[in-house]
Structure 1
């Protein structure tokens, strides 16, 4: 089973897009819970999370959040990122056969321009990060209270399924 962590900053529309892409995983029994961690003061993200049946937190301790998550694996996504079709089977297979972190492949249709690749910072969550719960807890306990830190400097295996990164939502 898989727990999904999403850290938001008043990103209602982006969160809604990501949650809609996760429905297939919930229907198939892969996604056991989704936890939305909010930094902003707006109520929009809380309403979206509540309507989708997610746990919502405005203040948190990341190691405690991971301990309380239901899944044996943790998937960290940024609001607006959308795994494409086939992700449920690919992630299920990885979880069943591997014990190492993984990430999605970047969508071939949503690549950064050369200028963007050269001059903009890449977010490690751009392609999502899938970690065994024990590894996520270890990294979270080592310092920091942001799911973003779980993805930094993480050696990952690339999954065959693709993801549309959050930045592409602005253009679509």
Structure 2
């Protein structure tokens, strides 16, 4: 009963009540608003927004910079599925990979990492891998046929 009184008093004070005959109902104060179309990478927390874009119709190069202080394991999820390792503070350059494709980049001990992704005008995709203080971290760089790059 006290909860119902609180809703009615709060609704009356905010002007959010609907009167219909002998019944009074609270009207929601929230409205649904469409999300704005933000540029690529502006808000990476929103689901399905790419972190960067490359031109899938031109040759591209993938550059991975290991800034973790630990060795990294990497591998594409295409049919080869081979896993390779490279040492800390090294830079790896790859070309001639299939698109679409996902590349997993992790530390062997699964310490959480974050990918900082950028694409230059020469269609070079640079991924700087750093350790983060996060529970999950990043696991896969998703290169899509449309040129969109997602981090999962």
What is the TM-score when the length of structure 1 is the normalising length?
0.23
Pick the structure with more helix per residue.
Answer: 1
Pick the structure with more strand per residue.
Answer: 2
Larger Rg belongs to:
2
What is the TM-score when the length of structure 2 is the normalising length?
0.25
